[in-house]
A and B are shown apart, each in its own frame.
Chain A
Amino acid sequence: MTVLDACSAINLINGEVLAVVLELPQYRFGVGPQVLAECGTDAVVIGSHFGLRLEELADDELPASLFFDLLERYRLGAGETECLAFAIANNGNVCSDDRKAREMAAHALGPERVLGSARLLRDAVAAELLNVEQAKRAYEKMKAFGGFLPSLPADYFVDC
């Protein structure tokens, strides 16, 4: 299970690649209720994928003690913390485009269990769901919409 946080979900929507990325066969994606609430109007777009290739994660089994421990320890937002709590509870991964949230997730889960939308685009190219130009364009769109994303090496989408 790869749990999306709000900024990565919004970035993927802004890059018009959410539907493509959700098709990646090696992933099973999920979104929790707090993250959904943080996505504002984009929650409708996200919700349209529930029951297809995106799981709506229920928090009726998620212990609040775990959430509040993580909130206090890592000082992230509620959605980012929920994401981390779901990843811990499900032995899953976290997908975030936020630098601090990724660092904290790497600390809590190990760096191999943390990824971002750039990595998903790269995997989409490898899976031939996108070509290199489409991936580059999507990434630039995400940045143009204000995504807090790093500059990538020119061959990032080529060598995969």
Chain B
Amino acid sequence: MLALQNALRGDEQRLDGLSSKTGIPVGRLHELANGADPTMREVRSLAGVLKLAIPDLAPLSKETERAEILFREMAHRKHIPAAALVETLSQRMAYSLELLHQAKSVPWWAKEFRSLPQGNPEAFAMHFRSFFCNGDSVSPLLSLPGLLLERLQLMLHVVNTPHFEGASAYVDGIPFIFVSARFPPRMLFTCAHELGHLLAHHDPEADFATIDSSTDLQEHHSHSVSERFAHAFASALLIPPAGLGIVLKKIRQLANIPEQSPLGDVEMLYVSRVFGVSFEVAARRCEDLDLLPRGGAVSLNNTLKEMYGSAEKRAEMLHLPPRPVISFPPLPLTLVNSAVERIRKGEVSIGRASMMLGLSIKDLLTANSTQLQ
């Protein structure tokens, strides 16, 4: 019960607060903090107030400890103050590993990107599209989250914590991407950014993890080569040059903008909506492709902020079509299917699977019923 003892550490004022919320006398809380055995009723009351699940108070499993080491090292290296974040990511990863329970193997697609010239994000993006999008080098890729889950069998988790932007990892050859729940276009970009790390930087044969506290454009000027690559890869993947050309031409036709006039905010706003990215990402992509002068993206974005409050507000004022929906499936289907299979075989109990997936027992019964049909 060390976890509960740790959770009860604090000053008298904190214990007073816990006491009034749980009805457990302060004296008893002191006893519990000093190692007395609580009753399950006390554990339930305290877990509820501390916003913990009861199993969170159990000692860490071997899998969670392993994942924690990977993330903690990276958080420390990147100066991310993130004890709770590390715990959340580690637990999600450990639960996935336990449910998948597969022998160490490298994903079949990983080697396809090994022979590409490192440092060429456009080549990586084109190769990805030729492999997983039937060679479509034009269309928006709003379905990237679903594609990663279904075709690449990647463990994509959306995590509801603000302390990070994204994270990626390989453990036992299983690829993981974690995305912080935010504005969906930002999540899509983060997803592509982390994919860039997985394809080009992580060795699938070795356990590795990285955490990004931000994927903001301006911050990437000073970032490492790998961060700049991941950023450029994400832009190239989500806004392919051929697609961008077609969209810009069409917008100019519709808005009666002369071909020779320089690109402006209206075209950028359209581009951002069509390709499911933020205004900044769209403008910066145009800058990278020499369609805007260097510094033009930041300048345009700042102007829109000053004049209209934000790029999104400007788009609303112009009555641009609404942004298309970008969906992030709540859980990798592979995980749910694997859980159902393992419950049937008696390898994992339905209660444990329910706790690990954050699904109810009834949800798992429904998943089993659907599979049987």
Contacts and interface: CB of A to CB of B under 8 A. Distances in A.
Interface string B333-362: 000000000011111111111110000111
Main secondary structure of the interface of B (DSSP, over half): helix
B58 to A, nearest CB: 5
Interface string B355-373: 1000011101111111010
A99 B59 contact: no
A71 B57 CA distance: 11
A34 B40 CA distance: 10
Interface in A85-123: 85, 98-101, 103-104
A146 B351 contact: no
B320 to A, nearest CB: 42
Interface in B25-57: 37-44, 53-55, 57
A61 B362 CA distance: 29
B300 interface: no
Nearest to A103: B346
A63 B36 CA distance: 10
Contacts of A81: 351
B40 A7 contact: no
A38 B354 contact: yes
A10 B362 contact: yes
B354 A82 contact: no
B1 interface: yes
Interface in B103-146: none
A62 B351 contact: no
A42 interface: yes
A101 B345 CA distance: 12
Contacts of A34: 40, 44, 54
Given A62-B40, A65-B1, A100 B348 contact: yes
Contacts, number: 129
Nearest to A71: B58
Q: Which of B58, B346, B352, B367 has the most CB of A within 10 A?
A: B352
Contacts of B43: 64, 67
Given A34-B54, A60-B41, A80 B362 contact: no
Contact of A63 (B4, B39, B350): B39
B345 A78 contact: no
Interface of A: 5-7, 10, 14, 33-34, 38-42, 58-65, 67-68, 71-72, 75-82, 85, 98-101, 103-104, 143-148
The 8 lowest CB-CB distance pairs between A and B, nearest first, are: A77-B351, A146-B369, A99-B346, A146-B365, A59-B40, A146-B368, A100-B349, A60-B41
20 contacts: A34-B44, A40-B360, A59-B41, A60-B39, A60-B42, A63-B38, A64-B42, A65-B1, A67-B40, A68-B1, A77-B352, A77-B354, A78-B355, A81-B351, A98-B349, A100-B343, A100-B346, A144-B369, A146-B367, A148-B368
